[in-house]
Structure 1
Amino acid sequence: MKAIVTVIGKDRVGITASVCSLLAQHNINILDITQTVLQEFFTMVMLVDTSACQKSIGDLAGILEQAGQEQGLSIRIQREDIFNAMHRI
């Protein structure tokens, strides 16, 4: 299943590395990634493939949310089909 991961927080060294490492630990493949810094805020959006992951999307959401809180970031995951439905005009 494909999903969208968003990361937002105050910019600092190592955000991309830590999030990508966490995803790799759960066998989540990054298919596409974009990131930018808006003034002092880091933003990243990733399209990922969770088909090799043993965790449910709900479990992943909890893991990412906890990791984000520990790092002072907002890290969210959402199924691609739900993300697309929410952003369709």
Structure 2
Amino acid sequence: MRAVITVIGKDMVGILAKVSNICAEQNANVIEVTQSVLQDMFAMIMLVDITGLTGSFTHLVDSMNELGGSLNLSIHVMHEDIFNTMHRI
């Protein structure tokens, strides 16, 4: 099972590290990352393997939402099944 994590917001030092740290803490393996900085805006898409999560998927989502709130970033976590279904329609 995999999930797609998107991050959008004002660029600052350590965004990738902080998101990756939450993934590591919850045993979500980062498979692929793409990121861009457009002027002062940061945009990232991350694909993670969630097969070995130590907690629930909801806990991962809540952790990312908490991080996003603390850094004023939009962080969205979507299960791959939902992502694929949305793009088939």
Q: Establish whether TM, by shorter chain, passes 0.5.
A: yes
Residue 84 of structure 2 corresponds to which residue in structure 1?
Answer: 84
Gaps of 5+ in 2: none
Residue 18 of structure 2 corresponds to which residue in structure 1?
Answer: 18
Task: Report the Cα offset of residue 72 of structure 1.
Answer: 1.3
Task: Report the Cα offset of residue 71 of structure 1.
Answer: 1.3
Residue 68 of structure 1 corresponds to which residue in structure 2?
Answer: 68
Task: Report the Cα offset of residue 81 of structure 1.
Answer: 1.6
> Equivalents in 1 of 2:7, 2:39: separation in Å?
15
- Partner AA of 2:73 in structure 1: L
TM-score, L = length of structure 2: 0.91
Task: Report the Cα offset of residue 57 of structure 1.
Answer: 1.7
> Equivalents in 1 of 2:42, 2:9: separation in Å?
5
> Equivalents in 2 of 1:40, 1:46: separation in Å?
20
CA contact (8 A) 2:4 2:48 kept: yes
Task: Report the Cα offset of residue 76 of structure 1.
Answer: 1.3
How many corresponding residue pairs?
Answer: 89
> Equivalents in 1 of 2:26, 2:71: separation in Å?
18
Cα deviation, 1:6-64, whole Å, max 9, x if unaligned, reads: 11110011111111111111111001110001221101001100111122222211111
Gaps of 5+ in 1: none
Task: Report the Cα offset of residue 87 of structure 1.
Answer: 2.2
Query: Structure 1 segments of 4 or more deviating over 4 A?
Result: none
Q: What is the DSSP-based 3-state SS (H/G/I as helix, E as strand, rest coil) of the residue aligned with 1:87?
A: helix
TM-score, L = length of structure 1: 0.91
**CA RMSD for the aligned pairs?**
1.2
> Equivalents in 2 of 1:42, 1:24: separation in Å?
21
